[in-house]
Every structure is written in C-alpha cells, then in structure tokens.
Structure 1
Amino acid sequence: MARCDRCGEEEGMPYQCRLCGGTFCSEHRLPENHDCPGLEGWNDPNGVFDSGFDDSVSSSSSKSSVLGLDTGPGGVLAYFRGNATYILLGLMWLMFLVQYAVAPYVLGIEQGTRAWLDLFTLNTSHPLYVWTWVTSVFAHGGLTHIVFNSIVLYFFGPVVERRIGSKKFVALFLVSGALAGLAQVGAALAVSAPAAVLGASGAIAALMGVLTVLNPNLRILLYFVIPMPLWVATLLFAGYSVLMSGVGGIGAGGVAQLAHLAGLALGLLYGVKLKRDGERAPQELRFGGGGGGGLGGRRRR
C-alpha cells in the first residue's frame, strides 16, 4: 500500500509519475491531475513528445547515451529536475569541505579570521557583501550543525519540491535562507551588537513552515522515536526560539534564534498561498538530529 501525494488516500496499485517521481492514485495519476511540475517541459517536442521516429531526436538521444546520463524529458537539464534537494545537500557538504579544508590548507585562510568570516558568514561588519547572502546559507559551523540540517532537509525537502517544482523550491530555499540571515544581522545592527551567521536552518525552517500549513497533522517521528503531529513540533520549535531570545537575546546559545523565526514565518506565509490549491502532504516523516550551540562568535542557523 502507498499513499497518494496529491490526496493522501491509500492506493493498492499506485502510479509513479515519470516526470516528477511522485506516487499517485488512479484519479491523480495523470500529470495534469496533480499539477506536475514536469508539465513545464511539455513545450519541448524533442523531450516529452519524442516519438522515436524523428531522426534529429534519435541523434540527440544517442549523444545522451554516450555521456551515460539519463537526461529524461527536456534535455540535459532535466537530469536535475526533481532532484534539487539532493543537489542542495551536495552543495552544503562541498561548502563544508571548502570551509575547513580548502580555505585553511590550500588558500591559507584560517578559520575565524576576517577573510574567512567575509567569505562564509553574513556578518554585521560587511552586511552588503552580497555573496555572503548565499554562501552563508550553505556554510556551517561544525560537523554536528551540518549533519542535523542535512537530516531535516533530506526528509522535508523532497516533499516540498514535489509540490512546488524544483525551480520554485530552490528559489524558496535560497531566498528564505538569505532573508533569515539578514533578519538576524539587521536586528544585531539595530542594537549595535556584532554578529556573524551561517547555516541552512533558516531555509529549512521555511520548509517546515510550508508543510505545517499544508498538513498540520502530518505525523513525524522526532529522532526516529518520538511521534507527534507536525504542528506540535513547529510550535515547540518556535516556542523554544522565542523563549531563548527572551532569556539570552536573539543569538542565545550561539544560535541565530531570530533567523529561525524569520525563516519559519516566511514558510508559513508561503504555505498559506499554497493551501489555496488544496494540496496535502504525506502522512508520516521520520527525522532526527542533535546539537545546538555556536562556534566562537558565529550564530548557527
């Protein structure tokens, strides 16, 4: 048995969409019946409508075979369609390698120096260094930090990506992550306090917010053990961030508490927009993680 990604009903003989990879019941098996993001590629006759009788299409297909890539409908870029979550995960770990191996041992940029901070963190010293709006989302403050964020993104990301499509998913991840960091740094500047933030937690909080609106009763197994509906987990997450901010400030415990709240708020707002379409999410997710705190003076998101 499997559940339909569109309506949530159990289906004994589920259908898997070849364009988006989702699982659907007989009623929603057609791409147009589940708002498949792959429909965006239907204007490419050399991809989706390939009949196999056109010589030019056959030539193109043979070239793809030589490369050893299953490009699918729409050309080479279609290889990445529906896999943006894993690409973002890969970029996070690649950035981690650059932070702690390439920068100090190859480029001579030691961790914690001004050059290192200006490359990998969004900070109050240089908030208009635009590249840090992106690099700070992928950079992390240590192994525990990136492992925890990777676990949550691995489980939440594909669900949201299937619903809104890869392009919008990447845009949501980058924009919410950058705005969450800017909110933290902006608040620090307002009170004349130094701050440097890094991490994908703000973006991941946005994904959590989207799912909470789409299906507040989504059952999750926190740490793979503790069952609870998603709305409870979200409420606990938000309450903890608010409490810590009230007790120790917006960067309490070395964690960018305000960035978490900003990312969550952005996700909730976007989820409200999606809710108008009447979409539902799967009924159960499992994830776990651990570790908090900061690294030096940097706030981890």
Structure 2
Amino acid sequence: MAKCDYCGAEVSMPYTCGYCGGSFCPKHRLPENHSCEGLDKLTEESRRSGRIYRGISEDLRDEPRENPPESFRRIGFDFDDEKIGGEGEFGGRGILKNLFFSNATTTLLFIIVIVYFGQLLVQLTFGGYFYENTFISLVALRQSTIFKYPWTLVTSIFIHLDFFHMFVNGLILFFIGSALERRIGRKRFIYIFLVAGILAGIAQLLVSKPNAILLGASGAIFGVLGTLTVISPRMPILLFFFIPMPLWMLTVGYGTLEAILAITSPGDTIAHMAHFSGILVGLLYGYKLRREGIGRARSALEDLFRNLGI
C-alpha cells in the first residue's frame, strides 16, 4: 500500500500532485496542504509576470474523491449521499457531532462552555457559600490544596471566573486553536493544550500566595499561541480586529509584556507568570515539531500576505 509523502499515512488510492509529482493522502492532496514546492514556484512566477494565481488546476479538481472536499471538512460537515436526509451525519446526532466534536478545538470550547454553565448551576442550587468554599476548592488550583487535590492541575484549566473571562479565552482559542490544529493534528493539539495549561499553572503557583485561586485556560491558550508562532510565524492576524501584523510580532510583544509584569507584579490578580510560561512551553514544542517537519503548510491567506510583503 502506498504512503503519503507528507504525513506517511497509508492510502489505497494515493493522489498525485500535478505540480511536484508527489503522492499524497486525501487530506494532503491539495498543493496548499503539503507545502508544494511546485506551487511556490508557480506563485513566484505568477507574481513576476503580473498574473494572479487562482488555485489548483482543473485536472486536479476533476479527480475522483474518496473523502469530502477539504473546505467542507474544515468547518465540520461530512457529505455522504447515503446519509443525507437519514440518520447519518445530517441527522440530529450527526449535527451535534459535526458542530462540537469534529475537531479538538470545538470539543474543548464545548467543554469550557458546559463547565461554565455547570458552575452557575452549582452556585444557584447550593448557594454562594458552598460554591466559593467547597466547590472551588475541589476544582480550582491553589497552592495550599495542590497535594490534597492534584486533579485541580487539569480541572482548573476549564474553570473560569465569570462570563467575560470565559468568552475572551474561548474567542482566542477558537481562532488560534483551529489554525494550529489544522497544521499539527488533533492529538498533538490536545497534548500542547493540556501540557502548557498544567505547566503554566505550576509556574504561577510558585509566585502566588498560598490561598490564591488560579483558574482559566489562559496558560493553555498561550501555549497554543507559542506553538503556532514557531510553525507559522508570518501568519497574518488582526490585532484588535483591524490592525494587520504577522503573528510573531504579536507573540514577541505580548510575551515581553507578560515577562515584565510577571517579575514586577507577581501578586496581581492576573496570572502573568502563567501566561509567560505558557508561551515558553508553546515555543519549545513548536520548535520540536518544526525540526520534525510537522505543520509547515501555509494557508492561501498567508501566501497572499507573503506576496504583499506583510
């Protein structure tokens, strides 16, 4: 059985790229998804000649497909002619599966939201005293209880102070998490999310007061940010939704600020040390993946920014 030249997966019917001649699995068959050298050359020639590269050739578009189009798979929908209108992917359970469990990013977001509403339910059912003195002690990270409740290293990642705290973390995770997961895969994404969150929590414990409560996914999210920065440093982002800049510039700026605040304001209510530690963990993991040749594919938007010199 043939193997994909990009990820090494075994495929019964490999696709041959019309630009570089390599053999690829359905997931990496498009030139944009396997860092195609021929595509880079074509893009450069098109730019020099003043032409606009408009995507893959019609020959590649007409190839028979084993799997659904990548564009639809990325947003979580699987097309199957036998399932449409039935109990398959477009049935009630199928819609829920595609919306919340099609990739790790949406699954983590779903868990975070469910946990937050679970917090509200506990508070309304048992009262504020029980919530603050018993429930939080069982799920939030605290220096005085870490050895008694070691599972709080993980549960604290999914607990948030209030709706705004949860919403901001969820919004950031949605954008950068999806971008990273497409590049490194589901398992590696979950790994860096949890490891960065745990190590960031431990780092914050070292500079916090014994009874300080630590909670939130910020450390894990900054780990995702660090990894994505190493793998795709020139990925275009919009700071405050309107200022364009490459990702590395945002990470360096924010990482420097968090490092300064972690040293000068260790007792602040914001976990600056967790943020800075999360970035460091992510940068190290991203460097490891890059040396292994994982996640180097660029998106079409990144190529556009690259060609424009941004």
- Normalized against structure 2, the TM-score is what? 0.66
SS of 1:144 mapped into structure 2: helix
- Matching of residue 194 in structure 1 with residue 211 in structure 2: yes
Aligned length: 244
- Matching of residue 94 in structure 1 with residue 122 in structure 2: no
Residue 183 of structure 1 corresponds to 203
Q: Displacement of 1:137 after TM fit?
A: 0.5
- Matching of residue 105 in structure 1 with residue 124 in structure 2: yes
Structure 1 segments (4+ residues) deviating >3 Å: 8-11, 13-23, 62-71, 77-82, 107-112, 280-284
- Normalized against structure 1, the TM-score is what? 0.68
Residue 283 of structure 2 corresponds to 268
Q: Displacement of 1:246 after TM fit?
A: 2.5
- Output the amino acid matched with 1:169: F
In structure 2, do the counterparts of structure 1 residues 266 and 82 end up closer, same or farther at CA, with 3 Å as the change threshold? farther
- Matching of residue 255 in structure 1 with residue 283 in structure 2: no
- Matching of residue 215 in structure 1 with residue 215 in structure 2: no
Q: Gaps (5+ residues) in structure 1?
A: 24-57, 72-76, 285-301
* Distance in 1 separating the partners of 2:67 and 2:187: 14
1:231-257 CA distance string (max 9 Å, x none): 1110111111112123222x42x1111
* Distance in 2 separating the partners of 1:18 and 1:116: 49
Of Structure 1 and Structure 2, which has the larger fraction of its residues in helix? 2
Residue 12 of structure 1 corresponds to 54
Q: Percent identity?
A: 34
1:13-162 to 2 correspondences below 5 Å: 13=55, 22=70, 64=88, 68-70=92-94, 82-99=102-119, 101-108=120-127, 110=129, 113-128=132-147, 129-162=149-182
- Output the amino acid matched with 2:235: L
* Distance in 1 separating the partners of 2:93 and 2:232: 36
SS of 1:7 mapped into structure 2: coil
1:285-296 to 2 correspondences below 5 Å: none
Q: CA RMSD in A?
A: 3.8
In structure 2, do the counterparts of structure 1 residues 158 and 20 end up closer, same or farther at CA, with 3 Å as the change threshold? farther
Contact 1:82 1:162 in 2 (8 A): no
Contact 2:144 2:210 in 1 (8 A): no
In structure 2, do the counterparts of structure 1 residues 3 and 105 end up closer, same or farther at CA, with 3 Å as the change threshold? farther
Q: Which protein has greater RCO, CA pairs closer than 8 Å, 6+ apart?
A: 1
* Distance in 1 separating the partners of 2:105 and 2:278: 17
In structure 2, do the counterparts of structure 1 residues 230 and 117 end up closer, same or farther at CA, with 3 Å as the change threshold? same
Larger Rg: 2
Q: Gaps (5+ residues) in structure 2?
A: 1-29, 44-52, 72-81, 303-310
